[in-house]
Amino acid sequence: MEPVNFHALKAYAEHMTLLYVEDNAGLRKKVVELLEKVFQNVAVAYDAKEGMALYRQLRPKIVLSGRKMPGMSGLELARRIRRIDADVKIIITSTSDDKAYLLEAIKSGVFRYLKKPFGVDALLEALFEAAESLESTEHRDILTVYMHDILNYQSNLLLLMREASLLYANRAFLDFFEIETLEEFQERYGELGRLMETHKGFLYDQEGVSWFEQVRLNPDKLFHVKIGDRRREPHHFVLKFHPIPEKAGYFILSLNDITELNLMALFDERATQHDRDMKDQVKLFKLFDVMRQNSAKVKVLNFYKGLTIANDALIANVDEEGITIKTNFIQLKAIQYQSSLTISSSSFPMDVMCSEIRSVDFEEQTIRFSGAKFSERSPSARKNVRVVPEEDHMVTLFYMERKYFGESRILDLSISSVKIELDALPAGLKRDEEVVVDMVLPQSKAPLIINAKGRVFRIDQNRYHYQIVILLELHGDSIKELSGYIAKRQIDLIREFKGMQIGK
C-alpha cells in the first residue's frame, strides 16, 4: 500500500533534483529504485567527494547522504553544501543514534536524521517534509519579491524605521534623491528631519521638539511636509507615520507627493515666493554656467552715491553654493562699497541683481556671490544720470498745499526725478498724487534752489522709513541749473571715489 503522502511528494518532486550519496552498493541500488519512482532527476554519488562535485554541477535542493564514507563524512559534506546554499535540505542516514552526533548534525544544519535500517515510509516521510519545506520557502520568497516590487513600484516614498533610525527605503524614495542606497542617503543628508523645510502649518524640527516626537505622539495623523529634491526644488508631501502592530519600536513612514496641487501658498505665501525665487536662481545659475563654458563677457554695474561704475567681467566658476566672477580693481571697490552688484548681458532677458556677497578678493580680482535674481527695475536702463547730493542739503515736501514737517532727505536725484526718504508718510499721499518739492543743494558760491511740481511715481516702505520717487516737472532755467549741478556733482564723486581707492 502506498504511503498517504506519496502522490503529494511526487507532485512536489516533479521538477526537483535529488542527490543521493551512499558508499554501500547494495543499499544504494534499492534506494535509487525507489527514488526514481518519485523524483524526475536523481543524481547518484559513491562517496562524499564525488557527491560534492555533483552538487556543484547540478545544485540539487535535496541531498540524501550516508554518515560514514571514505575521505569525507556525511556531516562534512553537509557543512560544505550549506556554506554555498543554506536552503538545501540535507537528510543523513546512519546506523548510530549517538546523541553527541545528533547534536553535531543539528549544528551542521541537517534537516532530518534517519537511523539505518530505515523503512520506505520513514524515508518517503522525510523526503515529503523536505519537499514541502522547500515549496513553502519558495512561496515565501515569491511573496517577498512580489511585496518588494509593490513597495518599489508605487509612487509613494516609503521608509521602514526602528525608532528614529532608517532601516529600509523603497525605490521611489531613492529615486527622489537620485541615490542608489539608503547608506548613500545617510552619508549625504544624515537625518531625515534636516531636510524638512520651515513652512507655516507644516511639520519640521522646532525648538524643544523634533519632528519625530511630533509624529510618534500622533500615529496615523496626516502631516504636511516640505522637502527639497537633489536639485533643491521643494516638494509638498503628505506624511503618515504608522506603528507596526505587535512589533514595538518599528514604524512605516509614507510620503505622498501632492506638489502638483499647488497648495503650499495657501499655508505660507511668503515661503512659497521664496521657493519660486530659489527655483529661478537655480535656472539662472545654469545660464551663468553656460556662459562660463563659452567664456562670454558680462557687464558689471555699481553705483557710488549715484555715480555709475561699469566694467566688463568674466564668469570664473559656478557651483551649487555660488558664482565667482573676475573683474578689475575699480569695480571691486565699488562692489565692496555698495555690498551688491548688477550684472547685464545680451544673454539675459533682464538685468540680474546680486545682493548676497560672499567675498571680495583683490589679489585674485574676483567677487563671489550666492543670491541672484532677475530684476524688472534695470539700473542699466536709466535714461538720466542720478547722483546723491551733499549731506548738508535740504528738502521740503508740500502735499495738498500743506508742508510736511517730518524728517526728510534726498537719496538721489536726476533732471527728471528725485527719491526722498521720509520718517512718516503724509496723510492720504499715494501714487499719482501731485506734490511740490523744494530743494536746497549746496554749491561753492551760492546754494542751488529748485522749487518744482511733481507726481508721485512710487512709494516703498522699509522697517523705519518711507521712500518716495517723484517725477519732476522742470522748465527753462531749472533744467539748465540742475543739469549743471549734477554734472559738477559727478566730477566731485569721481574724485571722491578715486581718493577712496588710494586711501584703502
Q: Tens digits of per-residue pLDDT, 151-163?
A: 665 678 888 888 9
**pLDDT at site 94:** 86
> Which of the two residues, 233 and 325, has the higher pLDDT score?
325
Q: What SS3 state is found at 56?
A: helix
Given a contact cutoff of 8 angstroms between Cβ atoms, the answer to whether 232 and 278 are in contact is: yes
Distance of CA 125 to the CA centre of its chain: 57
The one-character DSSP state at 426 is P
**Angle made by CA atoms 301, 307, 313, in degrees to the nearest 5:** 20
User: Based on the domain organization, do 17 and 121 belong to the same domain?
Assistant: yes
Q: Other C-beta atoms within 10 Å of 301: how many?
A: 20
Is 274 inside a domain boundary? no
- Domain CATH for 111: 3.40.50.2300
Structural domain of residue 324, as residue ranges?
A: 279-380
User: Based on the domain organization, do 422 and 367 belong to the same domain?
Assistant: no
**Of 351, 380, 409, at which residue does a domain stop?**
380
Cα torsion at 353, 358, 363, 366 (round to 10°)?
-30
Is 132 inside a domain boundary? yes
User: Based on the domain organization, do 185 and 287 belong to the same domain?
Assistant: no
Q: Which residues pair with residue 299 across a beta bridge?
A: 312, 344
Instruction: Read off the pLDDT of residues 14-36 as tens digits, 9 standing for 90 and up.
Output: 778 999 999 999 999 999 999 99
Q: Which residues pair with residue 397 across a beta bridge?
A: 437
Give burial (CB, 10 Å; 0-12/13-18/19+) of 430: exposed
User: Based on the domain organization, do 12 and 41 belong to the same domain?
Assistant: yes
User: Based on the domain organization, do 405 and 375 belong to the same domain?
Assistant: no
User: Based on the domain organization, do 242 and 292 belong to the same domain?
Assistant: no
Indicate whether 97 pLDDT > 80.
no
Cα torsion at 407, 413, 416, 422 (round to 10°)?
-20
Cell of residue 218, nine digits: 500622533
User: Based on the domain organization, do 355 and 409 belong to the same domain?
Assistant: no
Indicate whether 149 pLDDT > 70.
no
**Helix residue spans in 108-239 (DSSP H):** 120-153, 171-176, 182-189, 211-216
Is 386 inside a domain boundary? no
The CB-side HSE value for 240 (13 A sphere, CA atoms) comes to 10
Instruction: Read off the pLDDT of residues 289-314 as tens digits, 9 standing for 90 and up.
Output: 888 888 888 999 888 888 888 899 99
**pLDDT at site 1:** 37
Is 117 inside a domain boundary? yes
> Which of the two residues, 463 and 377, has the higher pLDDT score?
463
User: Based on the domain organization, do 32 and 123 belong to the same domain?
Assistant: yes
**Helix residue spans in 39-114 (DSSP H):** 48-58, 74-84, 99-107
pTM of the shown model: 0.46
User: Based on the domain organization, do 360 and 485 belong to the same domain?
Assistant: no
**Angle made by CA atoms 118, 83, 182, in degrees to the nearest 5:** 135
CA distance 71 to 321: 68
- If phi > 0 it is left, if psi is from -120 to 50 it is alpha, else beta; for residue 498 that is alpha
- Domain CATH for 309: 2.30.110.10
What is the domain count for the chain? 4
Is 1 inside a domain boundary? no
**Of 266, 287, 303, at which residue does a domain stop?**
266
Cell of residue 437, nine digits: 518739492
User: Based on the domain organization, do 375 and 343 belong to the same domain?
Assistant: yes
- Domain CATH for 251: 3.30.450.20
**Of 241, 266, 291, at which residue does a domain stop?**
266
User: Based on the domain organization, do 75 and 176 belong to the same domain?
Assistant: no
* Across 236-265, average pLDDT: 88
Is 385 inside a domain boundary? no
Instruction: Read off the pLDDT of residues 425-470 as tens digits, 9 standing for 90 and up.
Output: 998 999 999 999 999 999 988 999 999 999 999 999 988 899 999 9
User: Based on the domain organization, do 415 and 477 belong to the same domain?
Assistant: yes
- Domain CATH for 408: 2.40.10.220
Q: At 262, phi and psi to the nearest 5?
A: 55, 50
Is 191 inside a domain boundary? yes
* Across 130-149, average pLDDT: 70
**What's the one-letter identity of residue 311?**
N
* Across 70-98, average pLDDT: 88
Is 79 inside a domain boundary? yes
